[in-house]
Structure 1
């Protein structure tokens, strides 16, 4: 059974305000249901933006060396998980694996 995802807003996984979800299928194999994703509306976007603004204020007060350490760790995780992330992107979007590997590499 495919996973049903929620919105991550203010550090919490929350259902969309609409209560509705849409299915995302692998374009190369439409029998392969990647997952069910929130069909969010303006209320969800507004809540996420408010949360992002609060987070930005906190992040801005974080010393640069600490921010650098966090970003370095994110880069390390992307390197460690590059193949899995690229595979998931290929499954979801239908891009060729070489291209999604490049997309992940750009993020690193």
Structure 2
């Protein structure tokens, strides 16, 4: 789950880059509102920059170099565990996606599946 900073107004979601939750290089954010109910402010999200993207790409490239050295059975174990965590949180994830995108709940449940 992203690092969240609660304020009286809303929650601010940071970028996950190189194993840490960080604000964008610009420091700018944007509001995301529930399209089905624009009074419902989902949160403030980072307005990421090209610099943020470059840092994320560099971090992913470095992580890949370590990941590819992990034996296949261990990688499979980790990926199956990640899949199980998603499955365990399916309903919560689907509700969050519905709120963020305005899709119907049955559709977002299918997306999570």
Normalised by the length of structure 1, the TM-score is 0.94
CA separation in 2, counterparts of 1:53 and 1:101? 31
**Richer in strand (by share):** 2
1:77 aligns with 2:51: no
More helix by share: 1
Partner residue in 2 for 1:27: 35
Look up the SS of the partner of 1:95 in the other structure.
coil
Alpha carbon RMSD of aligned pairs, Å? 0.7
- Greater relative contact order (CA < 8 Å, ≥ 6 in sequence): 1
User: What do the CA deviations read for 1:24-83 (whole angstroms, capped 9, x no partner)?
Assistant: 000011111101000011000000000000011111000001000001101111111000
User: Which residues in structure 2 correspond to 1:1-108 (within 5 Å)?
Assistant: 1-105=9-113
| Shift, 1:14, TM fit | 1.1
| Alpha-carbon distance in structure 2 between the residues aligned to 1:28 and 1:2 | 18
In 2, the alpha carbon distance for the partners of 1:6 and 1:75 equals: 23
Which runs of no fewer than 5 residues in structure 2 stay unpaired?
1-8
